[in-house]
Amino acid sequence: MLTEIAERVRDTGSLGKTDVAALVVWKRLQASTAWVVELMNLRDAEVRAVTSAAVDAVRDPQAPRGAAAREGRRALLPLPGCRNGDALASALLTAAAPDRMAVYDRRAQFGLERLGYQLTPAPGRYGRYMDLLDDLLVRSGPDADGWTARDVDTALYWLGRQAAPTSGDTEEE
């Protein structure tokens, strides 16, 4: 599903409400929350205006990955579901730039911790997460040739899956 949405974003330069809703399902986030109702009450053009700015930020080839992630994350703050927590925002940003960004969730967090990395929930976490993924790619040297940040987040997901609690992701507003 992420690949299909990424293809649409590549063509349109933004994500619409149906794209966001599909990523909520893909991430298995709690959809029966006040922010989902608030999001669905927005006009699609409003959602696209917010996500268009985020898409531009994460696709900026002049910005280092972490800085682009921070700017993209900041652009999403007006969007319901992206004001608190990074699960949905990271999925939107990854759909916008799948070769550059990565998905954050609690399993990736546990994977980082198993490797001895610290990532606090303080504001700016997603940008710091992307900085850590860059560090992992650099430290891996030739073993990581051809790997993307998305490949690393997938590996962290599987590594952290064994340590994470079994309940579904409930990160919400």
Q: Do residues 157 and 111 share a domain?
A: yes
| Domain presence at residue 47 | yes
- 1, pLDDT greater than 90: no
pLDDT band at 141 (very low <50, low <70, confident <90, very high): confident
Residue with tokens 């992630």, as numbered in its chain: 69
pLDDT at 164: 62
Which domain range does residue 17 map to? 2-96
CA distance 169 to 16: 22
Q: Do residues 71 and 116 share a domain?
A: no
Q: Do residues 18 and 61 share a domain?
A: yes
| Domain presence at residue 54 | yes
Neighbours of 60 (CB within 10 A): 15
Closest of 60, 52, 56, 90 to residue 73, by C-alpha: 90
Cα separation values, 171 from 90, 99, 118, 130, Å:
12, 25, 19, 19
Domains contained in the chain, number: 2
CA distance 119 to 94: 19
Q: Do residues 21 and 89 share a domain?
A: yes
